[in-house]
Amino acid sequence: PLCLSVNLLRSKMGVLEVIINFILKPAAVLFDIWLLGASAGATIQERKIWENPKLPSMNPFGLVKAFLLNVCWMGGTQLGVILALLKRAIMGNKNGDMRRFCHNGVERIVGQMLIKLFIGPNIIIRGKENLPPENPGSPAPVLIANHDSQIDIAAVYYLCRSWRWISKSSVFFLPGVGQLMYFGGHVFIDRVKKKNKTSTGARNLYAKSNESLQEGVPMFFFPQGTRRLGERLPFKDGAFKIAMENKAQVIPISIEIPLTAWNSMYPLQRKDVAQVILTVHKPVESKEFKELEPLKKECFDTIYSVLPDYTKQS
């Protein structure tokens, strides 16, 4: 019996070595390549925003910070996905626990951690009293904000509220980030219209957003549709149509990213660090508007009323 036990143990150890050497190790290498490649791509995209002649371009230290931020962002969210799957396997998914764990737990912790590690020790929040309660009821409000940098996405987690993001479907393929968003119940859409209509198109945007608001979960939009710091792009209709259709409040949020955010020596030097400022404005009642454009204009003017206008700088 002892010999049989030893042989069985050796057999199991042999299988384990095969799994480690021929499955887990190659998978880890492929994931590292995926992670580093995606982080480099995200850093290049961020650098393009700061190439506007009215803005300071990113210096080498800033590029390194942006790259490391993306590595930590994707790596941290991938760890969160693994923990979420383990939690689901052990405890199940009772009453939407998976979404709360991913969004209120992992996303919030990772977002706040990224700010503290790479941008500044904290952020300034003004008008916090204008935020909806944690459980706002039905219909939940629509949150909107300007979109200047990828820093925005991490910074808004300091608001400590729940919502669903609207994101382009390609984000699903970012390591960790896309899978965490999927398990967090966020909404993916295609930016490019396809000949064969899919569930990720505009129809999905309105259906999923309406459902979320009626459930009591706010939707968070960047109505510009893309990141721009040196320009003020017009707002797209989607967020406002959804708000009017549901007679929901619109809560404008201004995000001010300091021009030294990337190029400062933080975290090596922690004194006199310019901080990100979030300004939460008073809710706008969409039901008081009969047409879309006046609602869009009021929200646009409100958001940019407290932000520096780089378009006027030479």
Over residues 286-302, mean pLDDT = 97
Tokens of 212: 């979320």
pLDDT, residue 5, reads 54
Closest alpha carbon to 224 in 201, 205, 240: 240
Question: What b-and-e string marks burial along 170-191, b requiring 16 or more CB atoms within 10 Å of the CB?
Answer: eeeebbbbbbbbebbbbbbbbe
With pLDDT > 90 as the criterion, what percentage of the chain qualifies? 74
Over residues 11-21, the pLDDT tens digits come to 555 667 767 77
pLDDT digits (tens, 9 = 90+) for 128-174: 999 999 999 999 999 999 999 999 999 999 999 999 999 888 899 99
Regarding pTM above 0.85, the answer is yes
Q: Is pLDDT of 223 > 50?
A: yes
What is the DSSP pairing of strand 164-168 with strand 249-256?
unpaired
Question: Looking at residues 209-232, what average pLDDT do you find?
Answer: 94
H or E, element range at 251: strand 249-256
Mean pLDDT, residues 81-96 taken together: 85
Q: Which two tokens stand for residue 127?
A: 């008008």
Q: Look at residues 184, 176, 150, 208 and name the one whose alpha carbon lies nearest to residue 80.
A: 176
Average pLDDT, the chain: 90
What pLDDT, on the 0 to 100 scale, is given for residue 17?
A: 72
Per DSSP, the three-state class of 43 is helix
Q: Which residues pair with 145 in a beta bridge?
A: 253
Rounded CA gap, 65 and 27, in Å? 27
Tens digit of each residue's pLDDT (9 = 90 or more) over 92-134: 777 678 999 999 999 999 999 999 999 999 899 999 999 999 9
Hey, what long-range contacts does 67-72 have (CB within 8 A, 24 or more apart)? 67/39, 67/40, 67/43, 68/118, 69/114, 69/117, 69/118, 69/150, 69/154, 70/38, 70/39, 70/42, 70/43, 70/150, 71/35, 71/36, 71/39, 72/110, 72/113, 72/114, 72/117, 72/118
Q: How far apart are the C-alpha atoms of 227 and 233, rounded to whole Å?
A: 9
